Copies of this chain bind each other. A is one copy, B any other.
Amino acid sequence: MKLNYDEGAKIIKALADPNRLKIIDILSCGEMCACDILEHFDFTQPTLSHHMKVLMDCNIVECRKEGLWSYYSLNISNCNKLILFLMNLITDTDECICKDKSKCKC
């Protein structure tokens, strides 16, 4: 599966916040429940809930419910796909938009 600009931008937008980057860093060690994640931050519980929703909407983070708790974890495969997308983007490949002679003279 190859991401297009819109799909890529949606995921990147989800990462484009220092607090959400920190959440991803925290989850890189393994799954963690919301209340434990919240301890690392100064904002309120609904704000964390909002951030987790943003990360889940783009499938970078997943959730497992157990009793009262929600355990969050990274979807590493999708994280890797995003990084691959970025590496493709900055690399001069044959499929690059630049090679479309119909629109570009380069």
Contact = CB atoms under 8 A, between A and B. Distances in A.
A104 B22 contact: no
Interface stretch (A6-14, A45-53, A62-70): A6-14
Size category, A interface? 35 or more
A55 interface: no
Contact of A22 (B5, B22, B93): B5
Interface of A: 5-6, 8-9, 12-13, 15-19, 21-22, 24-26, 28-30, 32, 36, 39-40, 74, 76, 79-80, 82-83, 86-87, 89-93, 96-99, 103-106
A30 B89 contact: no
Given A22-B97, A105-B36, A92 B30 contact: yes
Contact of A104 (B8, B26, B106): B26
